[in-house]
Structure 1
Amino acid sequence: MKRNTRMGHAPATANPAPLGLMGFGMTTVLLNLHNAQLVPMGAAILAMGLVFGGMTQFIAGLLEYASDNTFGMTAFMSYGSFWLSLVVLLFLPHWGLAPASSPTLMGSYMWMWGGFTAIMAVGTLTASRAHQVVFFSLVMLFALLGCADMFGQPMLTVIAGYEGLFCGLSAIYLAAAEIFMAQFGQTILPIGLPRTNAEAVHKDDLLVRIS
């Protein structure tokens, strides 16, 4: 395979963003199939959250740290931690180590993650449209889940499930776009890259730096 180089940098290593995006997207889709009441909760969802959404995404964040990508590091390590904490949150009561969280506490948990995601979403305003779709739809997902728990509205969880399917699939699309760009050296799936004055930022570099 041909190794790409970033502008002003030494020969580039592999871009960890598609790995993190796939871990996030596939786990989000699987969980929200349950939220939309299309499948029951099961070990497959918990295992996906623990391994691919959690640990693998966290590792992708560590690789982004090594690439000097603050946004990517913060996003992947944080959402990896979210999935790990969600699995632990579900298991602790079964292990008798902590009482189950009240609906109000769960709603607060979701809203806190929604607030964090809103900050990250603002950071995507200089990135591609695809990045913006992923993060702003994730803000809406956390808001809906928080409201469903806080106000005891199960229908909001179902609505959040379908919205979460859109969010997860958009992350998978972005991951696929970056994989194809790395493999074929050209845009296969458009992601709406922003234009700068005189095209000052190279497209490949932008993908690596903001992902």
Structure 2
Amino acid sequence: MADNKVYEIKESAIADPGPLGLACFALTTFCLSMVNAGLVVKESVAVVIALALVYGGATQILAGMWEFKKNNTFGATAFSSYGAFWISLGVFELFGAQKILVIPPQGVWLFLLAWTIFTFYMWIGSFGTNKALVATFTLLLLAFILLTIGAAGNASAHTMGGYAGILTAIVAWYTSFAGVLNNTFGRVVLPVGPCKK
């Protein structure tokens, strides 16, 4: 006998993946930027490789996929892309450390230039989100510009890019923390300043 019942498939609500994606981004950016700024020894990049592959990379990409589920185009594009950025960087650094592959300075410059271009249009897109994200992307764009100049042979710009990256990480951490607290307590504990649309 045929079953003529109509079954409804209800979409399950998921938690906001934004704070996770921002935390992944902030922590990995912080560690690499400490190396770039010269505040820790260059050999500390081994820690960055592990973070880039697992936390800043794979976990951030997962956050991006969950943003697709929440119909958040900006978050999905940002987290998925920067997660891929970290995995790419982790692979480059790992291959370099194992003497499998040496990327010439022009290759590093090209890599950073391309990510600067991407970050520029994501920065413009951030104007439709909130002020905390605008601040994060403004600092990130500055960091990428400085690191790109640094990759062209300007050591001072490279170091300044490291400091800009540290500031980026701090603001991203704040934005992540705000998302965790505001969602957990069901009210604004830490403001992120919605942009006027």
**TM superposition score normalised by structure 1:** 0.83
For 1:148 and 1:195, how far apart are their aligned partners in 2? 35
Residues 34 and 97 of structure 1: CA distance in aligned 2, closer, same or farther (over 3 Å): closer
For 1:93 and 1:179, how far apart are their aligned partners in 2? 37
Q: Which residue does 2:191 correspond to in 1?
A: 190
Root-mean-square deviation over aligned CA pairs: 1.7
Segments of structure 1 that go 5 or more residues without pairing to the other structure are 1-9, 197-211
Segments of structure 2 that go 5 or more residues without pairing to the other structure are 1-10
Q: Is the 8 A contact 2:48 2:90 kept in 1?
A: no
The equivalent position to 2:59 in structure 1, one of 45, 53, 56, is 56
In the TM superposition, 1:100-119 aligns within 5 A as 100-119=102-121
Q: Which residue does 1:148 correspond to in 2?
A: 150
CA apart distance, 1:195:
4.0
CA apart distance, 1:92:
2.4
The equivalent position to 2:133 in structure 1, one of 110, 131, 134, is 131
For 1:127 and 1:61, how far apart are their aligned partners in 2? 16
For 2:66 and 2:114, how far apart are their aligned partners in 1? 26
- Give identity over the alignment, percent: 35
Q: Which residue does 1:206 correspond to in 2?
A: none
CA apart distance, 1:49:
1.3
For 1:62 and 1:165, how far apart are their aligned partners in 2? 26
CA apart distance, 1:95:
4.5
Q: Radius of gyration: which is bigger?
A: 2
Q: Is the 8 A contact 2:57 2:84 kept in 1?
A: yes
Give the number of aligned pairs. Answer: 186
Is 2:160 the partner of 1:166?
no
Runs of 4+ aligned structure 1 residues displaced above 3 Å come to: 93-98
